[in-house]
Amino acid sequence: MPTQKTQPEKPKELFLFQPTESELIMFAFNSIKDLINTLYKEREIIDFLFAKRKVSVKYDNLLEFVNFEEEKLTTLLEKNILVQFGNTIDLNQDILDFLEKFTDSIEEINYEYTSGLIRILKENIQNWEIEKRPNKRNEYLLKIKRNIGNVGKDVLRNVTTLRGSVEDVFATEKDFGIKKSKLQEYDNKRKHLDDLLEQIDAFFQESTWGYFIKMVQDDELNQIILRLDRDIIIARQNLIDITQKILDFINRIRQDSQIFKHIKKVKLLKDQLLLAEKSNFIDVVLKENSLKFQNEIRYSTPLSLDYIQSEDAFEILLRISYKLKKSLKLDEKSSGVIRDEFLNKKDKNHFVVDTNKLKESFLSRGGDLFDFINNYNFEYELTFEDKVTLYCKLASQFRDEFSFSDKYSKIRNIEYALITPKQ
Amino acid sequence: MIGTPPIQTSEIFDRLSKGQFISEDSGSDEVKDLFNIIELENNYEVLRDYFQRIGFIFEKGTGYYYFSRKETNQIIEDKVKRAYKWIDILDFFNTYAKAIDEPFTQGTIFSPSRIFEKSKVNSALQEKLEALKNYQEFATEKPLERIQKLSRYMVKETFFDLTNEYSDEFKVLASYRYLQKLVVSIVIEEDDDETFE
C-alpha cells in the first residue's frame, strides 16, 4: 500500500512532541554510544514500558518495578527517554516508534484494543474537561492526540497484513480444511477491524467529542483527525476487497454443497429408474447438444485435383505409392489337402556318430584307427562303407592329434594308412 | 462480423470439434494460450459468429469454452445413456468428497490411490466403485486400476488434468462445472416433504 508509506509520518511526531524548554536542555547525549549504553543499561524498564505501551503506566507502579530507585527514573526522564504526563509515564514516542518499526510488532486489533481505545479517549476527554490547570490540560490533550494518532497506523498495518495473509492462503494453501479454518480466522480479524472503524465513527459522532473539538480548537488535533479519516477510507476500501474474497470462498462452499445435494438426488432417482418420470431429465437431454453428447465428427474430403498435379503433391504421392506397395497383399489360393501317401508314417531316426567322443576313446585306447573303428561297438549297426567314411572324417577332422605313418594296411580290398594317436 | 477470426482459429476448432473443452486452468500451455486468445478483446464474439456459419455453437461457461450443435440426428436413447454415465461419474466423485468432507470441484487435487484407500473404509464409496465396473471404459477387476482408468478417461474428456504423473495426481478443471451445471439443470418435481434450496 503505497499511501501508507507516503504519508508524512515524521513531521507528526516532531510536532506532537515538540520539546518543552526544559526538555531541550536536558536532552543531552554525548554520542550514539552513550545513547545505546543508556538504553542497554535500562533495558528492563524499556522492555516493561514497551510491553505496556497501550496502557498507561502510573509513575508509582514503575517506581515499584525499579525497586524504588527513583534516581534511575529521574535520569531517564532528564535524558528524555521517558516522558511523564501528570502521574503517568511513557517511553519517548520516537523510541517507541523505532522499536515498533524495527521489531515489526503490530498491535493486534481485537475487541480489547477497540474497547480500550474508546475508554481511554473518553477518560482523557473527561479529565481534560474537569481539569482547570492549563499545564495538566495540555497533558491530557497530548494523550488524546497520541491515542488517535496511533489508530490509523495500527489499522493500516493490520489491514496490510490481513490482505497479505488472505492472498497467501488463496494462492498457496492446498489443503481445503486448513484453507477454510484460516480464512475463518481472517474473517474474524476482519470483523474486529470493521468493528473498530464503526466504533471510531460512532465515537466521533458523539456529542462529547463534538463539544471537545469545539472547545479545544487545536490545529494539530484537526490534522491528526483528518489523517485518521484518510487512513480509515483506505482501510475501508481494502476491507471491502478482503471481505469480497472471503465471501466468495464461503459462497463457493455453500454452492458446492447445494450442487452436491442435487447430484445425490438425481443419482438416486436414476437408480430407481424414476428420473425421466419425476424430472425434466428427457427435456434437458434433448436440449443438450454439446459435442459430449454426440458421436465424433469425422471428415472425409476428396483430394483436390489441382493439388495432385502440383509439384508439392508429387513427393506425397510417391510416399503414398510406396506405402501402398509395401502393404500390398497377394491374393493367394489355399493349397489342397496333402494326401496321405506323401506322409511317411514311419518314424525316422537319423543316427549320428559323435566323432568327438569316438576320437577321445581312440586316443585313450591307442592302436590303429581303422582297426579301432572297425571293431567299435556302435549303438547302431554300421556298414563297411560307413566305417570307411567315418575313418576319413576323423582323419581329416583331428589330424593334428593323430600321427600318420607311411605304412599301409589292407582290409577287404581297401588299402589304408595306419593312423595312431600322436605320442 | 466485426474483425477477423484470430490465426489460432483452426487450432481452436480442432480441439473443440473433437468434443474437448478449453479451460482457463488447464495445465497445458497450449490450451491456456488458446483460452487467453479467445478472451482477448472481442475474439469470442468474432469466433462465435464465425463458427455459427459452419454449424457450430461456440458455448461459453465460467472459465471454459466448448462446442455444441443444433439439429443433430443423435438418437435420444444414446444421449440418455451418456447422461447416465456422467451422473454416475459425478456421483462417484461426490461420494468421495463426502467421505473426506471436502468439496470435489474445480481446483480439487486428488490421486486415485487416495480414493482407493478411502474406499476401503467407506462402504458407500466402495459400492459406487464396484458399480463403475459396468462401464466398458472402466471395466477391470482391480479397484485401484478402475479409478485410474476413470481419472484418465476424465483427462481424455478434458475435465481433469494429470498434474503429476509421478505421484499420479489429478486436478479438476473449470470444465467440470459444465457437468455439474448439466446435472443441476435437471429439475426434480418437488415432493411435499423437502425442497431443494
Give residue-wise pLDDT tens across range A326-363. Answer: 766 666 667 777 777 677 666 666 777 788 888 888 88
- Residue A237 in any domain: the answer is yes
Residue B190 lies in a domain: no
Phi and psi based region of residue B41 (left: phi greater than 0; alpha: psi -120 to 50; beta: remaining): left
pLDDT of residue B22: 95
The neighbour count for residue A314, using CB atoms within 10 Å, is: 11
Radius of gyration of chain B (CA): 19
- Same-domain pairing of B93 and B174: yes
Q: Are residues B118 and B150 in the same domain?
A: yes
Residues B99 and B152 in one domain: yes
Is A206 in the same domain as A158?
Answer: yes
By the CB < 8 Å criterion, does A273 face chain B? no
What does the pLDDT read at residue A8? 42
Number of domains in chain A: 3
Search chain B and give the residue with CA nearest A270: B84
For residue A276, tell me if it sits in a domain. Answer: yes
Q: Which is it for the CA torsion A180, A182, A188, A194, positive or negative?
A: negative
Residue B189 included in any domain: no
What per-residue confidence (pLDDT) applies to B191? 65
Residue A165 and residue A160: Cα distance in Å, rounded?
A: 9
What is the domain range of residue B160? 76-184
Look at B103 and A292 and tell me if their CB atoms are within 8 Å. Answer: no
pLDDT, tens only, B22-71: 999 998 999 999 999 999 989 999 999 999 998 899 999 999 999 998 86
A111 and A207 fall within a common domain = yes
Instruction: Let me know: does A131 contact A140? Beta carbons within 8 Å.
Output: yes
- Count of domains in chain B? 2
Q: Do the chains contact at B79 and A270, CB–CB below 8 Å? A: no
Q: Which residues of chain A have pLDDT under 50?
A: 1-26
Asked whether the beta carbons of A293 and B83 are under 8 A apart, the reply is yes
Sign, Cα dihedral of A231, A232, A237, A239: positive
B97 with B152, same domain? yes
Cell reading at A144: 488524546
> Residues A46, A129: one domain?
no
Task: Please say which residue of A46, A75, A104 terminates a domain.
Answer: A104
Does one domain contain both B30 and B105? no
Residues of chain B contacting A296 with CB distance shorter than 8 Å: 18-19
- Tell me: do B156 and B103 sit in the same domain: yes
Last residue of a domain, one of B19, B46, B68: B68
Q: Is A275 exposed, middle or buried (CB count within 10 Å of its CB: 0-12, 13-18, 19+)?
A: buried
Q: What is the CA radius of gyration of chain A?
A: 54
Same domain for B99 and B126?
yes
Whether A301 is covered by a domain: the verdict is no
Q: Do A263 and B66 touch (CB under 8 A)?
A: no
Under a CB-based contact definition with an 8 Å cutoff, are residues A221 and A213 in contact? yes
Q: Are residues A80 and A202 in the same domain?
A: no
Question: Per the CB < 8 Å rule, is A278 touching B187?
Answer: no
Q: What is the pLDDT of residue A148?
A: 86
Strand (E) positions, A143-292? none
Of A104, A137, A154, which one is at a domain's C-terminal end?
A: A104
Q: Mind listing the pLDDT tens digit for each residue in B87-114? A: 999 999 999 998 888 889 888 899 999 9
How many CB atoms lie under 10 A from the CB of residue A132?
7
> How would you classify the pairing of strands B22-23 and B57-61?
unpaired
**Residues A174 and A195 both lie in one domain:** yes
- On whether any CB of chain A is under 8 Å from the CB of B124, the answer is no
| A238 Cα to chain B: minimum distance (Å) | 26
Give a yes or no: residue A14 inside a domain.
no
For residue A289, which residues of chain B lie inside 8 Å, CB to CB?
Answer: 57, 68-70, 72
- Tell me which chain B residue has its CA closest to the CA of residue A264: B91
Q: What is the pLDDT of residue B8?
A: 92
Proportion of chain B above pLDDT 90, given as a percent: 70
CA distance B102 to B88: 19
- Are A391 and A420 contacting, i.e. CB atoms less than 8 angstroms apart? no
* Alpha carbon distance B110, B104 (integer Å): 9
Report if residue A232 sits inside a domain. Answer: yes
**Stated length of chain A:** 423
* Non-local CB neighbours of A371 within 8 Å, separated by 6+ positions: A409
On whether residue B90 sits in a domain, the answer given is yes
Angle between helices B123-131 and B76-100 (to 10 degrees): 160
- Contact: A264, B88; criterion CB under 8 Å: no
Same domain as B180, residue B83? yes
The whole-number pLDDT of residue A28 equals: 59
**Claim to verify: residue B83 and residue B61 sit in the same structural domain:** no
- What is chain B's mean pLDDT, rounded? 89
A80 and A50 belong to one structural domain: yes
Domain residues for the domain of A375 are: 355-421
In a domain, A322, yes or no: no
Which of the listed residues A267, A294, A321 is the one where a domain comes to its end?
A294
- For residue A291, the chain B residues in CB contact (below 8 A) are 16-19, 66-69
β-pairing, B109-110 vs A402-411, is: unpaired
| Assigned domain for A73 exists | yes
- From the DSSP assignment, how many helices (H) and strands (E) are in chain B? 8, 6
Q: Kindly state whether residue A330 falls inside one of the protein's structural domains.
A: no
How many residues are there in chain B? 197
User: In this predicted model, which residue has the larger pLDDT, A408 or B135?
Assistant: B135
Answer yes or no: do B105 and A288 touch at CB < 8 A: no
Same domain, A30 and A177: no
Residue A60, domain CATH? 1.10.10.10
What does each C-alpha distance from B153 to B115, B145, B146, B150, B159 come to in angstroms?
Answer: 16, 12, 10, 5, 9
Question: Which chain A residues have a beta carbon less than 8 Å from that of B70?
Answer: 289
Question: Is there a single domain that holds both residue A88 and residue A133?
Answer: no
Interface A-B: count of C-beta contacts within 8 A = 117
Q: Which chain A residues are Cβ-neighbours of B197 within 8 angstroms?
A: 258
Res A12: pLDDT: 40
- pLDDT above 90 for B161: yes
CATH number at residue B174: 1.10.10
Q: What is the pTM of this model?
A: 0.56
pLDDT at A331: 64
Query: Helix (H, G, I), strand (E, B), or coil: what is residue A418?
Result: strand
